[in-house]
Amino acid sequence: MRKLRAALTGALLMLAALVPVTPAAAAAPAGTNLQLMSWNMCDSQRTSWNCGSYGTFADKLGVIKYHVDKNYVQAMLLQEICENDLTTLKASLGSGWSKNFAPYFYSNNGVLTNSRCGNDGSSRQDRYGTAIVVHAGLTNPQIIPTTQPWNGQNTVQQCATATYFDNIRLCNLHLSRYGVNPDHPTWDYADDQLAEVKAVVDRYDHVAFGGDLNVVPPDWPGDSSRDWVWPAGLYWDGTTGYRECDQTDAANPLRTGRSTTVWNVKLDHVFSTEPWRWCAVGDTAFSDHDVVVYSMKIA
């Protein structure tokens, strides 16, 4: 379905604002693995985002540090994080970590305004969006321009290179939820967005990408209503595509996986070109989404 795109100038401004934050580092030695974590943090203090019952940022920070300490997470794809909280997170992780933030926008007839962490008039007017956080080097952050509603919440897809981990390209995705456009609640943006993302990640020999895609896997039991949004060649089917974290058997892959949300469905997906080692799904009381950790072999 053809849909109106929100102002391209907004996307170009975002792209211009995302500059390299860390110089390139040496490649990882043989035997190096990468544990990549994806988590929709539900960090907003704005009432309309419905995150008030999922703890404080200190609680969420504890979840992240647990996975850094216990699962040896070295890179993160974080959705729904407040910009000031991201600054606190980086400081808490210590030296050697780099971050890149990309904001969400709200579109009113194509006019974009920043999505804010708190309610209007509150002290939390910092921006709300996604972050890529990497240990030992992050370069070349960029936005993937995607089709977004002319009216309604605009999400963002961003990529950056993890230099130490053999320059693997990491892309953090947060697709539009179904019904996001108040003028056209039956329009689905996921098909366009997934196709646009695939066109970008296909360019890289070494890439890992994912996040909150707001759609269940193609073979999710009892729900095939949106299977059509998945482009051919994205979800590993045993012959083509990218292996998703929860596809434990590459030779006989199930395109299902474990639930990652309080709604008992899988909306969070992480894919990679790199050899699969293990996948963890960690539930938490401090978000409506679980943590997903994809361990992959780098060198």
- Determine whether 37 is exposed, middle or buried from the number of CB atoms within 10 Å of its CB (0-12, 13-18, 19+): buried
List the one residue out of 165, 118, 120, 112 whose CA is nearest residue 143.
Answer: 112
Average model confidence (pLDDT) for the chain? 92
Range of the domain at 99: 8-17+34-297
Residues 221, 159: Cα–Cα separation, whole Å: 31
Place of tokens 């990652």: 260
123: domain CATH number is 3.60.10.10
Identify whether 39 is part of a domain: yes
Identify whether 26 is part of a domain: no
Bridging pattern class, strands 168-174 and 207-212:
parallel
Identify whether 1 is part of a domain: no
CB 287 within 8 A of CB 60: yes
Identify whether 2 is part of a domain: no
pLDDT the model gives residue 28? 81
Identify whether 27 is part of a domain: no
Once rounded to an integer, what is the mean pLDDT over residues 209-226?
Answer: 96
On the question of pLDDT at 10 being above 50, the answer is no
Identify whether 29 is part of a domain: no
Task: Quickly state the pLDDT bin for 26 (edges 50, 70, 90).
Answer: low
On the question of pLDDT at 13 being above 60, the answer is no
Place of tokens 């002290």: 123
Once rounded to an integer, what is the mean pLDDT over residues 76-98?
Answer: 98
Place of tokens 């990529």: 159
Number of folded domains in the chain? 1
From edge to edge, which strands make up the β-sheet containing 128-135? 97-103, 128-135, 75-82, 33-40, 291-297, 276-282
Model pLDDT for residues 239-292, shown as the tens digit of each residue: 999 999 999 999 989 999 999 999 999 999 999 999 999 999 999 999 999 999
Q: What is the pTM of this model?
A: 0.91
pLDDT the model gives residue 139? 98
Identify whether 22 is part of a domain: no
Identify whether 208 is part of a domain: yes
User: 132 or 16, which is more confident?
Assistant: 132
Six-digit token string for 13: 């401004």
Amino acid identity, position 291: V
